[in-house]
Amino acid sequence: MDLEVIQGLASKHLRSRNAHHNREQGFIYYHGQRVAKLAVNLRKRLLPGETTFDQVMIVASYFHDVAKGIEPHSKFGSIVAREILADYCTSEELEQIATIIRHHQFREKRNDYSDCVKIVQDADILDHFGSVEIWMNFQHYAHEGGTLDDSIAFYRDDYATHAQKVRSLLNYPVSLQIFDEKDTFVREFAARMALEGNGEFML
């Protein structure tokens, strides 16, 4: 596969999309690029030296949300990705890419999935936390006409339950460690935001 050409395809099909009205234009493109890098970095931690499926994971990550907004987007995304990539991948590569996309959001039987699927699942989750989670939170309340107080209230009242639920879906101990570090950052940021949002300061 020519990853440079395929990245260009991802840009062409996803960069101008606005699948979420309360996120920036092209979010699913930028999200896919980050997930691809996260997936490779996770693989390096989990399976050092095993590069066989890196390209398949990268391409699947680029396109895993290609059908976002048409639910179940993982099912339809696997079909759309096959069509987009038909002239750029072998039939075996297309099958592997489609399998990863088809299962990236369904984790009920995750022990039955290959490492490729589970790594991309975890990378997808991890990209939604840490500094990106804060970015999405700000975007959400800005687009919904919310205030700083609304964001503070979310972190105070709802964030912990949401984070705990999503954490339980991760497949690997290293993913849990990465998640916990990101989660700690978000909680510390939220605590400071609550303080400063009330006209107080740290010193």
3-state SS, one letter per residue, for 72-123 = CHHHHHHHHHHHHHCCCCCHHHHHHHHHHHHHCCCCCCHHHCCHHHHHHHHH
Q: Give the residue-averaged pLDDT of 10-37.
A: 90
Query: The tokens of 163 are what?
Result: 């984070």
Residue partners of 203: CB distance under 8 A and separation at least 6: none
pLDDT at 189: 97
Handedness of CA 33, 37, 43, 48 (dihedral sign): positive
Length of the chain: 203
Q: How far apart are CA 81 and CA 199, in angstroms?
A: 49
| pLDDT for position 108 | 66
Q: 134-175 pLDDT, tens per residue?
A: 999 999 998 899 999 999 999 999 999 999 999 999 999 999
